[in-house]
């Protein structure tokens, strides 16, 4: 991975993580176009820089996250997190397999885009304006919608926002609760992926730790700006523009696959991410 690729992926992560356009889908496509999607470090990088995006939510909404007297706020996040935690544990291998499919991303882009085109007509403007009014059942239902985002290209943000709208939350609160729920969800997913890489014996090569740090910083800055801009936008506009973008993006992915620029199915990374150094006089082994 080059420094230019680090910057590009950091921007893509920060910009797409909290918008209803699917960060996972965009990261898969971006790394595929750059020809680095089959590298073990790329897969690790895409997971680790989520920490920067998570941190932007905590910093932006620090009053909520650091007000430990509001214990019900944390319990509601736990209730919403449970469905994804259970499904993630039960279907982790199938989820990982889907992450290798560019066609899955393209289809999800288009289907999700069509949903966003009509979502404001399906769910009228809600009246719940504060997270204090979100009961545990509503939080759990929103969490069930989040499970849909395990399919790459669906978008965790889009699915949870739709879930919030279905529970009569305003567009602003639905978006904010989606951000809040991202913290435990992404933190757990990141921790699991890091543990998986540790068990596989992944070791860092020269400069890779610096790339992770820079990637996190870029993701943090871009996500911070994206969140503030998105909240301002949804208070005045519908989700239609994001639906149109997703449909065009899905069609573009299909076209790039047809040209062979993006592969239908991603290649698996080598079992041993780092080449072993052979002793003098012996052949090197992978």
For residue 51 the two structure tokens come to 């920490």
Tell me which residues of the chain have a pLDDT lower than 50.
Answer: 267-286
**Rounded Cα gap, residues 46 and 35, in angstroms:** 14
> In the chain, what is the greatest distance between 2 CA atoms, to the nearest angstrom?
74
Q: Does residue 175 form part of some domain?
A: yes
Q: Does residue 121 form part of some domain?
A: yes
For residue 213 the two structure tokens come to 């740090």
Q: Does residue 265 form part of some domain?
A: no
What is the pLDDT at residue 79? 96
What is the pLDDT at residue 138? 96
**38-64 b/e (C-beta count within 10 Å ≥ 16 → b):** bbbbbbbbbbbbbbbbbbbbeebeeee
Cβ–Cβ under 8 Å, residues 40 and 204:
no
Q: Does residue 283 form part of some domain?
A: no
- Per residue in 62-86, pLDDT tens? 998 888 888 999 999 999 999 999 9
Task: Report phi then psi at 229, rounded to 5.
Answer: -70, -40
What is the pLDDT at residue 219? 97
Task: Report phi then psi at 113, rounded to 5.
Answer: -65, -45
Q: Domain range holding 180?
A: 3-259
Q: Does residue 179 form part of some domain?
A: yes
What is the pLDDT at residue 265? 67
Task: Report phi then psi at 238, rounded to 5.
Answer: -85, -175
Q: Does residue 8 form part of some domain?
A: yes
Q: Does residue 228 form part of some domain?
A: yes
What is the pLDDT at residue 262? 86
> How many domains does the chain divide into?
1
- With left for phi above 0 and alpha for psi between -120 and 50, is residue 155 left, alpha or beta? left
Q: Does residue 266 form part of some domain?
A: no
What is the pLDDT at residue 250? 96
What is the pLDDT at residue 233? 94
């Amino acid at each position: 991975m080059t420094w230019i690729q680090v910057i590009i992926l950091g921007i893509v992560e920060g910009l797409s993580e909290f918008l209803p356009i699917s960060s996972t889908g965009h990261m898969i496509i971006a790394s595929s176009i750059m020809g680095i999607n089959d590298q073990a470090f790329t897969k690790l990088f895409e997971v680790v820089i989520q920490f920067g995006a998570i941190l932007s939510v905590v910093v932006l909404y620090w009053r909520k996250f650091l007000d430990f007297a509001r214990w019900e706020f944390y319990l509601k996040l736990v209730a919403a997190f449970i469905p994804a935690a259970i499904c993630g544990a039960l279907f982790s291998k199938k989820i990982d397999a889907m992450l290798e499919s560019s066609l899955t991303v393209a289809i999800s882009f288009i289907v999700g885009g069509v949903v966003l085109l009509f979502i404001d007509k399906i769910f009228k403007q809600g009246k719940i304006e504060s997270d204090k009014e979100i009961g545990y059942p509503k939080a759990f239902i929103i969490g069930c919608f989040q499970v849909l985002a395990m399919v790459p290209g669906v978008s965790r943000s889009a699915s949870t926002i739709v879930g919030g709208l279905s529970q009569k939350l305003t567009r602003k609160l639905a978006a904010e609760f989606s951000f809040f729920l991202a913290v435990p969800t992404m933190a757990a997913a990141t921790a699991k992926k890091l543990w998986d890489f540790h068990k596989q014996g992944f070791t860092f090569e020269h400069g890779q730790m610096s790339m992770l740090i820079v990637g996190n910083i870029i993701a943090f800055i871009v996500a911070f700006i994206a969140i503030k801009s998105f909240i301002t936008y949804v208070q005045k506009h519908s989700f239609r523009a994001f639906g149109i973008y997703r449909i065009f993006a899905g069609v573009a992915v299909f076209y790039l696959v047809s040209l062979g620029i993006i592969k239908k199915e991603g290649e698996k990374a080598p079992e041993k991410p780092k080449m072993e150094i052979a002793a003098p006089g012996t052949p090197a082994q992978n």
